[in-house]
Structure 1
Amino acid sequence: MAAPSPHSLSAAFQKHLRRLGLRDFPCGLGSWNKSRFVTYAGSSGQEEERPPGEESPEALLELLHDPRSPWALPPGCSPQDQRLRDVAVLAPQLTRGTRVLQLFRSLRIVGKDVEEVDEDLLQLQHLEELILCANQISRITSANLPRTLKVLELCCNAVSDLQGLCAQPPPELQHLGLGYNRLHGPLQDKHLTADFWPNLISLDLSFNNLTDLFGLVSQLSSLKKLRTLVLQGNPLALIPAYRGFVVDSLPKLSFLDDIHIGLDERYQFCGLSKQPELIKNEARVVVSIGKIKGVPDPSTLQELEVGSEAPVITYSYCVAYEFAAEETEDGGTEVKIHQSPVVATVDVDNSAWDMREMKGQQECAAVEDPTQTAKVCVTPGEPWADIIDCSYRKEHTVKDLVGLKDYLRAGTIVSVVEEKVLSWPVSADSEENAVKSGKERRGVKKDSTKGPGPRDKQKKKKKKEKPRELRSDPPIQRILGSERVALDALLATETLVATVCDFGILITEQLLQSPSQEEKLDKKKGKDKSKKTKAKKESQKATAPAKGKRKKRRSAEQEEGCGLQPVPLTVEFQMQLLRWPTAGAQNGESKTEAAGKAQ
C-alpha cells in the first residue's frame, strides 16, 4: 500500500499488521524454521533431519497460543488475527508482501481514531467483515468498500448522513450497523430501501436522533429480507405505540430491539398500522414518589416557654425532581439552578439552591440548567412523621422527543426539601392603635360622657379570649439530601425505573451531643453547685410545668434511642414510560378499544 494519511483506515491497518508481528519470531521465516522450507523441495524434509536448535511447528504454535507467553496475541485482536499468525508459522511464504492481503476475510479496527475509509481498502479483495467501531468516521464513501463485504459495523462513530454510503453500496451486504451515530430528523432521501440494500438482513440504527416513525417504517417495509431491527434509543422509540406500529408494519421482522416477536404479539398489534390517527408524536411519562424515611423530629429541637414571645415554628417536607422542559398551561417562572449533591448536615446552609418559587403544589417551575433546560417539579408539602407518605403521581406529556431523550440520558436530580416557617404573635397594642387610627380617619367620635356598658365589657372579655393572631415570615427552605437518578434504561427496552434514593444519615444535634453529657458535667462540679441547680430546676418546673414535661419527655426519648442506630434519609422514586396498546388486547379486547383506553 502507498503511504496513507495518518488518520486513514489503511494507516491503521498497516499499524495493526506490524503489531501482529507476522514476520518476527515465532512467526515468519527465519533460523528457527528455515530448514523446513529449504528441504521442502528436496527428497527428505523429515523430522530427524532438523538441525539442532531449530523449533518444531508445534513448539512455535504453543508460544503463540499460551496466554502466559510473551508472544501471545495482543489484547483486542480477533480470531482472524490468530489464524493469520498460525499461517505465518505453518506457511510463512503466504504472508510475504501483498500476498497477506488475500488472506483477510475479516478486519477489526476498533478505537484507533480512524477518520477516513480510503481506497486502499479495495486491495482486500476477499474481505467479508469490516468492523470499525469507536472511531471518528463522519462520512464514508461506499466506492472504497470491497464488493465482497457482507458485514459493515460502524457503531460509535460520527456518521450524520447516508448519502455517501448509499452511492455504490456492496450488493451482498447483510448487516449494517449504524448505532450510536449522529443520524437525525426525518430521512428525506430514501436511502434505507431495497434499491440500495437488497440483501440486508440485520439493521442497527439505535441511539441516533431519528424522529419520523412513519417515514422510516415506510422505507424499511421495502426490505423484504430484513429480520432484525434495532431502533431503541431514538426519540421515535419513546412514542407509546412505537413497538406495536413497527411490529404490525413489518410482518417479516423476527427481532425488534433484541426482543423476539412472537405470534401473540403479532395478534395483539394486528391492524395498528392501518390506524395512523391513533399514533401521536409525543411521549407520556408518569412520575411516582412514595415514602420519605429518616427525617428527624423537628419538635425535639424546640423548647419554648408558655406565653413567650418566641415564634411558632412549623415544618413541612416535600420532594423535588427535575423533568424535561415542556410547554405547560400554567407557564412557570424560569430560575437558574446550580445542581450539586449536598451532604445533609445540620447547621449547613443549603440555600444556594433558591427554591422560593417552589410551593408545595403539583406544579412545575421552569428551570435553566447549565447543561440542559429542565423544570423542577415539587410534591405537596407534608407535615413531619416517622414515615412521610407523599403519595404523589404526575403524568407528563412531552412533545419534544429529542429533548426528552437528552433528559433521560442525563438523568434527574431528586431532592428532599424542608420548609420552615416562623410565625410571630401580633401584639394587642398595635391592633388597638390601628383600629383607633382607622376610626379617627373615618370621622368617628367617641362619647366621653357615657361609660362602658355591660355589653362593652363582654366584648372586651371576648377579645381577650380570642387566640392571638400570628404573622408568618417568608418560608425558609433547605435541601436535606440530593441525588442523581439514572434514567438511561428507559431509552432501551425498560419501561420502568424504580429506586430508593439513599442520602445517608442526617446529622442532627441529637447525634452530635450525647444525652449524658450534661450529667457528666454536673458530676464534675461541686455538690453545692449541684444542689443549686436542682433547686433551680424545681422552681422552673413549678412556674412552667409544660416546659418541664417537654424536657422530661425529650430526655426519655434520648435515653431510649441512645442504643439504636440512626435511620438514613431515603425516598422512594419511580418513573414509567407509558406504552400501549396494553395487555388488555391479549384478553380478547379489540385493538381500537385498547387504543382508546390508552388515549
Structure 2
Amino acid sequence: MSSNKLSDVLEKQIRRLCLNDFPCGNGTWRKTKDRTEGAETEETDALLDLLSCPHSPWQHDKSWSTQAPALRQLAVLTPERLHTDFIYNYFTSLRIVDKGVLVIDDGLLKFSKLEELVLSDNKISEIPAENLPSTLKILELRANRLSALNSLTDCMPPRLQYLSLGSNSLGSHDDIRHLTGRHWPQLVCLDLSDCEFKDQQALVSALSTLTCLRTLVLEGNPFTLAPSYPGFTVDSLPQLFCLDTSWISAEERHCFRGLAKNSDLIVDRASATVSVGKVRGIPDPLLRVEENAPDFPVVNYGYFITYEFLSHQTVNLNLNRESKCDPAHVTEGCFSDADLQSNRNCEKELTKPDTQDLMVYTEETCHDIAHVKLHSTSKLTWSECMDFSHTQTYIVSDLGGLKRFLNQGLYLTLEEEKVLSWPAASEDVPLTKPSRPVKEMKSSKGKESPIKSGSTKDKSKDKKKKSVPELVQDAPTRRLLGSVHIPLQSLVKGGQKVDVLCDLGALHTESEVEASQTLEKDLGKKIKEDKKNDKESKQRGGSGTKRKNTAASKGKGKGRQECEMDVQTENSVSVRLESVTVELNVELEKWQSAAEAHQLLLPHQNSLSKQRVLS
C-alpha cells in the first residue's frame, strides 16, 4: 500500500536507484587489484556503460531528479562515499508529480541543500512552511487542493524566487493579504493562473509591493475576463517584464499609461458580444410540393437560431429562486428598457429538457444572479443564404459564473418553425371544407350573390372580400434541424475572440424524411410478402412448382435488389447534400488604451448615475 507522505515517496525513489546493487556499489562484480580476473567481474567503464546505454535493463527513471543519474555514476566510481547524509545532501532538485502526495512532513528537511521542489498534480491541501528547507528557491504547487495561503506564509523560505500556485482554489481577500513583499521579499516569478481571483484592484495593489517581481501569470482568473485586463495590470506594475508568457513592450506601456491612476474607471464586470451571421445549406422546404396540391392549407416556414448564454438580472433571492425564461420571450440580457421589462415578465419555465439554468447566489438576499438561458435570433424565411445579422452584447458582473460557462462552452441550435393557415369560418368558406382548392372558390365567386344591393361600390367591396379569404393560423410547430457545441476555453486562457463556422451537417427536408420512411415501410412489406409466398410454395411441393418458385424467387430477388438500389440512390442523394453552416462570433471587450477606456466607460457611468437619481 503506497504512503501519502512526501518523505516516504522520496525514500521509495531513492531505493529504486539500487545504489548498492549491480552495476553500482562495491560488490563482487567489480574488478580490483585484490580480485583475480574472471567472467563474473567487469571493468569500471563497462559498468558505467550499463547505466547509460539506452537498451540496458539497468536504465532508471531520472525524471524525478536531475541528480539521480549522477548519483548512480558516483555509486560506480566511488561507492565508499555513499553514506546516508551524503545522499540526502546531494539532491538539489526534486520533481514528484502525480504521485498522490497528501502531506509534506518534516522528513523533507533531510534534504538540506534542496533548491527546487516540484509537487504538481498531487492532493496537497496544506503547506506547512516549517517543513520546507530554507535553501529552497523554486516551489511549484500547481494543481493541488490548496484553498488558503495562511500556513504557507507563516515561515516561508527567505530565498524563494519562483512560486507556482496555479490551478488551486485560491482567490479570497485573505489570500491576497498573503501575496505581499513582506512574505516574499525576493520573489521574481509568480504563477497564479487558473485560480479564482475576482478583485483585480486588490490583487494588483498587493502584488505592487513585490519589488523583485518580473514575471507574472494571471490568465484563467475570473477578473481577466474584464475589459480592464491587462491594461490596468501593466500600468500598475511598472517593474514587470513579462505578463502571461508575453513580453511587455514599451509601446504597450505607453498606451495604458495613466490607467492605474484612474482606478474609479475599473469595473469588475465583463462585456461579451455574440454575433450570428449567415446560414447556408438549408434545403428548400418547397422543392417537393406537388403541382396539383390543394391551395389550403397555406404553409409558411421560418428559421431561427437559438444559443445558450448568460443573462444577468438583479432579483430578490427570497421571492423566486427558480424563475426561468420561456423560449418564446427570450431574455437578451442587455440594458435596454424592453429587455429589462422582458426580464421582469420572464416567469414561464423553459420547455427544453436538456437546457439547465446555472444560478450563482451570494450571501445577500438581493443580488445579481447569472442564468444560463436560451437566446434567440429573429425568424427569417427560407433562402439559399440567410443573413441573420444578429448581434447582442451581454454585461456580466458575476465573473466566476462567466468563467465556468466559457469553460463548458456554448450550445447552438438551428430550428424550423412551420405554420399552417386555413380559411376562416364564414358563409363563403365553410368550416367543414378547410382544404378546398382556391380554383373551386374562384368559380363560385362568379355566381350572383343572393343579397341584392343597388350600389356598385358595395358589390365591388363584396368581391374583394370574397377574393381574399381571411386565414386562420394553427399553432406553430417547431423542428430541431441540428445543434453544435462550440468550445470557448480560449477566452478564459487569454483569447479575445472566437470566430467559427459551425458545421451542422447535411439536413433533409420534411418531405424527404417522410418519403424515406414510406420507402422503408414499403420495402419491409414486400420482403414479408416474399417470405410468405416462399413458405406457401414449399408446402405445395412438386418439381414444377419448385422451378416456378425458383424463377419467381429470382424475379423477386431482382425486385428486392431494385428496391435496395432505390434506397441507396435516395441515400446517395442525401450524402451529396450541402452541409449547413452557421457563422458565429463571440468576443470579449478589451481596452486597447487608456483613452479608449475613458471613452467607453464615462457614458456608461453617466447613464448609471441618471438611473440612480431617477430611482
What's the TM-score bracket when you normalise by the shorter of the two chains? 0.7 to 0.9
Q: Matched residues in 1 for 2:225 and 2:94: separation?
A: 35
Contact persistence 2:506–2:574 (CA under 8 A) = no
Q: CA deviation at 1:597?
A: 8.4
**Secondary structure at 2:177's aligned position in 1?**
coil
Contact persistence 2:327–2:375 (CA under 8 A) = no
1:10 equivalent among 3, 7, 31: 7
**Secondary structure at 1:468's aligned position in 2?**
coil
Q: Does 1:579 align with 2:581?
A: no
Which residues of structure 2 form unaligned runs of 5+? 360-370, 432-450, 524-568, 606-615
Q: Matched residues in 1 for 2:420 and 2:331: separation?
A: 16
CA deviation string 1:152-210 (max 9, x = no partner)? 00000011110000000000000010000000233366211111111000000110111
Contact persistence 1:581–1:594 (CA under 8 A) = no
2:297 counterpart letter in structure 1? P
**Secondary structure at 2:412's aligned position in 1?**
strand
> What RMSD over aligned residues (CA atoms) do the two structures have, in Å?
3.5
Q: CA deviation at 1:59?
A: 2.7
Q: Matched residues in 1 for 2:373 and 2:242: separation?
A: 37
**Secondary structure at 1:573's aligned position in 2?**
strand
Q: Does 1:314 align with 2:300?
A: yes
CA deviation string 1:440-491 (max 9, x = no partner)? xxxxxxxxxx9643455444333222x1222112222222111211111111
Q: Tell me what 2:506 maps to.
A: 505
Q: Tell me what 1:545 maps to.
A: none
Q: Does 1:82 align with 2:65?
A: no
1:405 equivalent among 403, 409, 430: 403
Q: CA deviation at 1:17?
A: 2.0
Q: Tell me what 2:281 maps to.
A: 294
1:233 counterpart letter in structure 2? G
Contact persistence 1:581–1:595 (CA under 8 A) = no
Evaluate the alpha carbon distance shift between residue 359 and residue 173 of structure 1 in structure 2; reply closer, same or farther with a 3 A threshold. closer
Q: Tell me what 2:576 maps to.
A: 565
Q: Tell me what 1:388 maps to.
A: 386
Which residues of structure 1 form unaligned runs of 5+? 337-353, 434-449, 522-557
Q: CA deviation at 1:421?
A: 1.5
Pairwise mapping of residues 452-491 of structure 1 onto structure 2 (< 5 A)?
452-455=453-456, 456-465=458-467, 467-491=468-492
Q: CA deviation at 1:506?
A: 1.8
2:50 equivalent among 57, 63, 66: 63
Q: CA deviation at 1:97?
A: 3.3
Evaluate the alpha carbon distance shift between residue 591 and residue 454 of structure 1 in structure 2; reply closer, same or farther with a 3 A threshold. closer
Q: Matched residues in 1 for 2:154 and 2:214: separation?
A: 24
Evaluate the alpha carbon distance shift between residue 478 and residue 243 of structure 1 in structure 2; reply closer, same or farther with a 3 A threshold. same
Q: Does 1:160 align with 2:162?
A: no
Q: Does 1:327 align with 2:313?
A: yes
**Secondary structure at 2:309's aligned position in 1?**
strand
Q: CA deviation at 1:510?
A: 4.9
Q: Does 1:254 align with 2:251?
A: no
Q: Matched residues in 1 for 2:462 and 2:176: separation?
A: 87
Evaluate the alpha carbon distance shift between residue 213 and residue 429 of structure 1 in structure 2; reply closer, same or farther with a 3 A threshold. same
**Secondary structure at 1:71's aligned position in 2?**
coil
**Secondary structure at 1:300's aligned position in 2?**
coil
Q: CA deviation at 1:251?
A: 0.6
Pairwise mapping of residues 11-160 of structure 1 onto structure 2 (< 5 A)?
11-33=8-30, 35-36=31-32, 39=33, 51-74=38-61, 76-160=63-147
**Secondary structure at 2:89's aligned position in 1?**
helix
Q: Matched residues in 2 for 1:155 and 1:359: separation?
A: 39
Q: CA deviation at 1:565?
A: 2.9
So what's the TM-score if we normalise by structure 2?
0.74
1:13 counterpart letter in structure 2? L
**Secondary structure at 1:126's aligned position in 2?**
coil
Q: CA deviation at 1:317?
A: 1.4
Contact persistence 1:355–1:477 (CA under 8 A) = no
Q: Matched residues in 1 for 2:251 and 2:245: separation?
A: 17
Q: Matched residues in 1 for 2:331 and 2:115: separation?
A: 62
**Secondary structure at 2:417's aligned position in 1?**
strand
Contact persistence 1:361–1:380 (CA under 8 A) = no
Q: Does 1:226 align with 2:213?
A: yes
Q: Matched residues in 2 for 1:451 and 1:482: separation?
A: 60
**Secondary structure at 1:25's aligned position in 2?**
coil
Contact persistence 1:360–1:381 (CA under 8 A) = no
Q: Matched residues in 2 for 1:497 and 1:208: separation?
A: 22
2:310 counterpart letter in structure 1? A
Contact persistence 1:505–1:569 (CA under 8 A) = yes
Q: Tell me what 1:446 maps to.
A: none
Q: CA deviation at 1:214?
A: 1.2
Quick one: percent identity of the two aligned structures?
A: 39
Q: Matched residues in 2 for 1:359 and 1:211: separation?
A: 26
**Secondary structure at 2:60's aligned position in 1?**
coil
Q: CA deviation at 1:371?
A: 7.0
Evaluate the alpha carbon distance shift between residue 378 and residue 22 of structure 1 in structure 2; reply closer, same or farther with a 3 A threshold. farther
Q: CA deviation at 1:236?
A: 1.2
Q: Matched residues in 2 for 1:55 and 1:471: separation?
A: 101
Q: Matched residues in 2 for 1:268 and 1:191: separation?
A: 31
CA deviation string 1:531-586 (max 9, x = no partner)? xxxxxxxxxxxxxxxxxxxxxxxxxxx99x9699321122111211110034xx7x
Q: Matched residues in 1 for 2:400 and 2:332: separation?
A: 30
1:578 counterpart letter in structure 2? E
1:505 counterpart letter in structure 2? A
1:492 counterpart letter in structure 2? K
Q: Matched residues in 2 for 1:590 and 1:371: separation?
A: 33
Contact persistence 2:591–2:597 (CA under 8 A) = no
Evaluate the alpha carbon distance shift between residue 80 and residue 412 of structure 1 in structure 2; reply closer, same or farther with a 3 A threshold. farther
Pairwise mapping of residues 417-436 of structure 1 onto structure 2 (< 5 A)?
417-429=415-427
Q: Matched residues in 2 for 1:65 and 1:22: separation?
A: 15
**Secondary structure at 2:427's aligned position in 1?**
helix
1:473 counterpart letter in structure 2? D
Contact persistence 1:148–1:170 (CA under 8 A) = yes
CA deviation string 1:4-29 (max 9, x = no partner)? 99211112112222333333333333
Contact persistence 2:224–2:494 (CA under 8 A) = no
Evaluate the alpha carbon distance shift between residue 381 and residue 75 of structure 1 in structure 2; reply closer, same or farther with a 3 A threshold. farther
How many residue pairs match? The answer is 503
Q: CA deviation at 1:318?
A: 1.6
So what's the TM-score if we normalise by structure 1?
0.76
Q: Matched residues in 2 for 1:284 and 1:70: separation?
A: 59
CA deviation string 1:339-384 (max 9, x = no partner)? xxxxxxxxxxxxxxx9555599997878662777511111111111
Q: Tell me what 2:561 maps to.
A: none
Q: Matched residues in 1 for 2:175 and 2:7: separation?
A: 33
Q: Tell me what 2:225 maps to.
A: 238
Contact persistence 2:176–2:202 (CA under 8 A) = no
